[in-house]
Structure 1
Amino acid sequence: MADAFPQRIVCLTEEPTEVLYALGEQQRIVGISGFTVRPPRARREKPKVSAFTSAKIGEILKLEPDLVIGFSDIQADIARELVKAGIEVWISNHRSVDGILAYIRRLGAMVGAHEKAEVYARRAEQHITDIRVAAAQLPHRPKVYFEEWDEPIITGIRWVAELVQIAGGEDCFPELAREPLAKQRILANGDEVVRRAPDIILGSWCGKRFRPEKVAVRPGWEAIPAVRDGELHEIKSPIILQPGPAALFDGLDAIHRIIVAWAGRPG
């Protein structure tokens, strides 16, 4: 009996690639995003046919996909071109930890791997629970400012703020984290960060290296506890800015380690 599920999938972002490899369904993938780094073998095994806001439509069509998977309104133009060409497209738009877990389950079901996806999602849920329990033992919860971009200054998206909370911190801009679009999370200047006085600054500038020395010399920022104490840390963008498994495992772990180290500082 022929497989009734998609056989030739193009992944326009990293998270479907990571999930399908984790489920042992990587044979279905025929093309990936050029930004894919997880798992490393995907870059060696699969042709790269897209960036994030652009894609090689002609190359994708040559692959004859029966499903293309992307993420968010930012890929709407790519999706429209593929739909016009007769390709089936799924654009997910999840922005929360629960959304990531649901995404794993939904994608698993779409490729006939519901049971494997359920096991994987429960493993992620257990990891989240373990970190939450460990964080509850910390003597203090630091205020954490997460910066997604520097010019203009963009604060962290919802799943990042939720992971900060799970890891033992308090996100400095919870009201902005609820905004799904980056343009809605732009700060006019850094004054409000100074006023909210974070204990820890986490930076993940999408696509480029975080420069703590540049952040530290922003006007007035010398008064911020995180700057005063040297608590400026980079979280690599592939493990935190993709709404997929990496954020729930490696991203969460990285934030938790930083918070634990802060909590253990003398004085």
Structure 2
Amino acid sequence: MRHFPPQRIVCLTEETVETLYLLGQEDRIVGVSGYAVRPPRVRREKPRVSAFISADIPKITALAPDLVLAFSDLQADIVAELVRAGVAVHVFNQRDVAGILAMIRTLGAMVGVAERADQLARSYEERLAAIAATSRPGPRPKVYFEEWDDPLISGIGWVSELIEIAGGEDVLPDLRRKAAAKDRIVAPDVVRAAAPDVILASWCGKKVVPDRIRQRPNWDTIPAVRNNRIVEIKSSLILQPGPAALTDGLDAIVAALWNEG
């Protein structure tokens, strides 16, 4: 990082974009991921320089960033190229709710607004606590969350936690500690045996087709399928570990579990 706070930031994933906007620091952003859609004006205001596991390195270096923000081992190849090009990079790797809150505070400190970031994180902590404390009618619904359909992938950490905060019970809670998607592949029979009351699906950027879920062999015995409780949650709300998941993503889970909204 050449300057503190950095003046020219490129964000390779969407959650850091949204966080910087919420912190009033959007003027520092000079390039964003093509998936960045929050707030909506980001699509008009900022040049897109990357997908998720690929990026236009010359386009990024031409922006002369003094900081690039990346996420996880999935962006390791992009990061290596940028580091070799002499660019300062910070790679976040938050996988749970505590990690999301820490990311917000860390990013705030990096851009010189630590107090504002702490206030933002604290507001989310209070919101999560209030939703978790809400009394709900009836037993906790059993929930299967599907991140991909072929093979079936479930259980990403923060989503599993948010299901519980929303008053549900994740039917595959042991998978939440597995960071790599390949370690969260589940057999269709395991889901069938778990008998979820609700199926939440977010197929990582492609549209969920509920009929494809219904037509899986022997899945007609699953309560969620029988009772037509298969709900898509947009990837931009739930699969990015940032403010969206803690706000609109969580609200979408609550609505799906308790038939609200």
What is the TM-score with the length of structure 2 in the denominator?
A: 0.97
Residues 1:118 and 2:93 aligned together: no
Q: Which amino acid aligns with 2:101?
A: L
Secondary structure in 2 aligned to 1:233?
Answer: strand
Partner of 1:220: 218
Residues 1:143 and 2:150 aligned together: no
| Separation in structure 1 between the aligned mates of residue 133 and residue 256 of structure 2, nearest angstrom | 16
Partner of 1:129: 129
Q: Which amino acid aligns with 1:184?
A: D
Partner of 2:236: 238
Q: Which amino acid aligns with 2:206?
A: K
Partner of 2:158: 159
Q: Which amino acid aligns with 1:175?
A: D
Partner of 2:61: 61
Deviations 1:19-71 (A, max 9, x none): 00000000000000001111111110000000000000000000000000010
Secondary structure in 2 aligned to 1:40?
Answer: coil
Structure 1 position 178, deviation (Å):
1.1
| Separation in structure 2 between the aligned mates of residue 80 and residue 208 of structure 1, nearest angstrom | 28
Residues 1:16 and 2:9 aligned together: no
Q: Which amino acid aligns with 2:192?
A: V
Partner of 2:79: 79
Residues 1:100 and 2:100 aligned together: yes
Partner of 1:172: 171
Structure 1 position 138, deviation (Å):
3.3
Runs of 5+ in structure 2 lacking a partner? none
| Separation in structure 2 between the aligned mates of residue 147 and residue 80 of structure 1, nearest angstrom | 31
Secondary structure in 1 aligned to 2:249?
Answer: helix
Q: Which amino acid aligns with 2:88?
A: E
Secondary structure in 1 aligned to 2:179?
Answer: coil
Partner of 1:195: 193
What is the TM-score with the length of structure 1 in the denominator?
A: 0.95
Partner of 1:265: none
Deviations 1:216-238 (A, max 9, x none): 11001000000000000001000
Structure 1 position 137, deviation (Å):
3.3
Q: Which amino acid aligns with 1:259?
A: L
Q: Which amino acid aligns with 2:66?
A: D
Q: Which amino acid aligns with 2:130?
A: D
Report if aligned partners of 1:138, 1:168 keep a CA contact under 8 Å in 2: no
> Percent of aligned positions with the same letter in both sequences?
58
- For these two proteins, the number of residue pairs brought into alignment is 258
Q: Which amino acid aligns with 1:260?
A: W
| Separation in structure 2 between the aligned mates of residue 26 and residue 84 of structure 1, nearest angstrom | 27
Structure 1 position 156, deviation (Å):
2.5
Structure 1 position 168, deviation (Å):
0.4
Runs of 5+ in structure 1 lacking a partner? 263-267
Secondary structure in 2 aligned to 1:7?
Answer: coil
| Separation in structure 2 between the aligned mates of residue 261 and residue 81 of structure 1, nearest angstrom | 47
Secondary structure in 2 aligned to 1:144?
Answer: strand
| Separation in structure 1 between the aligned mates of residue 6 and residue 155 of structure 2, nearest angstrom | 34
Report if aligned partners of 1:83, 1:89 keep a CA contact under 8 Å in 2: yes
Question: How much is the aligned-residue C-alpha RMSD, in angstroms?
Answer: 1.0
Secondary structure in 1 aligned to 2:133?
Answer: helix
Q: Which amino acid aligns with 1:143?
A: K
| Separation in structure 2 between the aligned mates of residue 89 and residue 163 of structure 1, nearest angstrom | 29
